[in-house]
Amino acid sequence: MAGKLDVLRTVAIFAGLPDAKLEAILTHLHEKTFLKGENLWVEGEPSKGLWVVWKGTVKIYKLGEGGREQILAMEGPGRTVAELPLLDGLPYPASCAAMEDAIVLNMPPSTFHRLVESEPAIARAVIGSLAMRLRRMVALVQELSLKAVRERLAGLLLELAEENDTFELHWNNQEIAARLGTVREIVSRTFSRMIHEGAIEMNGRQVRILDRARL
């Protein structure tokens, strides 16, 4: 596992800061551990500060009627979460939970505000981060409203694979369904069709893409 300073160097809003400044920031970050499925916060709660993922993966999600879950984003090491409530002063618009055992670093709201006021570069980077999240939300709305489940699943697999043909799928079918806005049974059937058509192979949770065009 990368050290705290190594992870902080990869955080977009702190990009370009010298190590001396990053080490000073680390003194204001409090380490917190969350077990898989445990909430970091729940929709409607007031802001608890800036969160930086150090280890593991967390999900931002909404619950609909009947408890159906829609995952809005998944963030891993080096990613920040929950900037919006820090800026508008309103409660969390969605909930956040650990998708696996996770360690996160938390900066209290008052410390975050002082840091932004003293470092204009961080303020500009936070605006850039929010703009990126808005673009991701627009893309998610497009996926859910305009694309079939097969297209959504193919897009997710290509995103996870990046430039590789083989990768580990760390989420179960229920979590994938929550990300794609569907149900577990449809995800399972879609995987089966992809395998039958020769688009992918699966060995446990290891996925090998055989033909990207057939996805």
For every one of its 215 residues, what pLDDT tens digit does the chain have, with 9 covering 90 and above? Answer: 568 889 999 998 888 889 999 999 999 999 999 999 999 999 999 999 999 999 999 999 999 877 888 999 889 999 999 888 998 999 999 999 999 999 999 999 999 999 988 888 888 888 888 888 888 888 888 888 778 999 999 999 998 888 899 999 888 899 999 889 898 999 999 999 999 999 999 998 899 999 998 98
pLDDT of residue 77: 93
**Torsion angles phi and psi, residue 56, rounded to 5:** 90, -165
What's the whole-model pTM score? Answer: 0.76
Q: Which tokens sit at 162?
A: 């990046």
The DSSP code for 136 is H
E-assigned strand segments in 6-65: 30-34, 39-41, 50-55, 58-63
